[in-house]
Chain A
Amino acid sequence: MQNWIEFERNTRPSDPIERGPGDDGDSGGPSRPKVERPDTRDLLKRMRRVDPNQARRYRQRTGE
């Protein structure tokens, strides 16, 4: 019989949640996360580390 692996339950602190239905029965649409848009410098720094040629090398087969 197969042995099943226990995964770690959580790995990160909770992120802010914008939940729709539920606790208060509110049925409104999405709202923006209640945080200021951060400086994009960190984001751009991360994007510069992405290998410019990774898409060129990324080859897959057609899926079903």
Chain B
Amino acid sequence: MTEDRLIHEVSEIFGRVLDEDDITAESDFFALGGDSLLATRIISAVARRYGVELTFEEFLLAPTPAMVAKRIESLGP
């Protein structure tokens, strides 16, 4: 999968969980009103889709679609 494609997919996960339409690669989860409950739902969606289990700490350090995509690429199976 290309990096752009992966970022696009992760952006869709962000959009679905946050109920926001205009998610870009750099959209910050917390700036968009994300909280711990919604973070778990992004993390579980990423785990289901890519088999990559992020911790809270990892997600806190990587709260944008681009950064999550990078984690998936580096940790992915």
**Are A and B bound to each other?**
no
Write the residues of chain B forming the contact surface with A, with a CB cutoff of 8 angstroms: none
Write the residues of chain A forming the contact surface with B, with a CB cutoff of 8 angstroms: none
